[in-house]
Structures are given as structure tokens and as C-alpha cells.
Amino acid sequence: MSMDNQTETTLPGFLGLIDISIARIESVMLALGVILMATNTVANVIGRFVFQNSLFFSEELNRFLIVLITFSGISYAARQGRHIRMSAIFDKLTGPVRKVLMIIIALSTAAIMIALAYFSFSYILTVAKSGRVLPALQIPVHWIYLWVPVGLLLTGLQYVLTVIRNITSKDIYLSSQVLEGYSDDEFEV
């Protein structure tokens, strides 16, 4: 699959549809977040130095966008097989044992991400009940945190797809799209 083309998937049927949908959501969230943050920051700098007036909402908007970019980025990194991995033991294993360990790692990571999504959503409900609002934008504070469970859930789904991919394929996959191994720009130490 080309990483630039988010309409391709190597997963069959409904799983492929889920995979493509997650890829599109990640892409939109990341692209929109980065573009809005850059635009907001540049506009604030121009306002401050040219017009001697900063945008009153700039810091709050950037805080919101940092949360959006961070938690959509963890899902994107999982899709690309780019999360940090401690592979000393994994690299020493061979064949079926290595594959079983990858399935266990992906399954436990998925469970943790989905549990964190649940707990973060529970926290958001608590924050929502408090009625707190952002001082400048006057929007509810819980809207900032809404992207945390979304990103964690998407990451959990990425790891579930990784488990399925490893169960249904003869090769070992770091993600549903990325075959295990070291690329030209990586090396084993």
C-alpha cells in the first residue's frame, strides 16, 4: 500500500472499509490540525508585530490543536508501524514464537488503548458536568479533551487490525499495512 494513497488497503471486505475509514479520519484530523495551528500561529505573529495586537484566542486554540494532533498522531504512527518498540527479546526469537509474541503485543496494546479511551471519556463526562469554559473562546473545556478518547480508540482499532492481519497472514506485521523488519533507514543494534 502506498502511504500517500489512503484509499488502498490490504485487508479484505469490511475490515478494509474500516481500515480506509480510519486512515481518512487520521489524515483529516492531522492535516486540519497542522494547517490550523500554522495559520493561527502566523496570524498571531503578524497581529502582534504588525498591528501591535495579538489574537486573544490564539493560545487556547493552539492548546486544542495540540491535543488533536497528538492523539490523532498516535493512531497514525500505529498505522505506519512507527511506535517505539523494545525489540531485544523479539529480535532474538524466530518463526512462530515471534509471530505469537507480536500478536500478544498488539492485542495487549489494543486492550490498553481501548481501556484508556473508556477512562478518558469518563473523565470528559466529569469535566463536562463541571461547566468550565475557556476564558477567551468561551467554549466548554471538555471539547478540548474530546479528541483524547477518539485518538485512543482509533489507535486501539489499529492494533486490533494488526492482530487480525497477523492471524490471517503467514508473515509478521507491525501494523495492518507494515511488514516486520528493518527498512533501509533503520538498523538492528
Q: What is the pLDDT of residues 137-158, one digit of tens each?
A: 888 989 989 999 999 999 999 9
Cβ–Cβ < 8 Å for 115, 155: no
Is the per-residue pLDDT at 76 higher than 70? yes
* pLDDT at site 4: 46
Query: Is pLDDT at 187 greater than 70 in this prediction?
Result: no
Neighbours of 16 (CB within 10 A): 15
pLDDT tens, 91-101?
A: 788 878 888 98
**Local structure of 133: helix, strand or coil:** strand
Cα first-last separation, the chain: 28
Query: What three-state secondary structure class fits 173?
Result: strand
Helices (H) and strands (E) in the chain, counts: 6, 0
Quote the cell numbers at residue 138: 468561551
- Cβ–Cβ under 8 Å, residues 141 and 127: yes
Q: pLDDT grade, residue 183 (50/70/90)?
A: low
Residue 86: other Cβ atoms inside 10 A: 6
**110 near 160, Cβ under 8 Å?**
yes
- CA pair distance 89, 188, nearest whole angstrom: 12
- What is the value of pTM for the model shown? 0.81
| Nearest CA among 134, 111, 143 for reference residue 57 | 134
Say what the pLDDT of residue 189 is: 47
Higher pLDDT, 18 or 6: 18
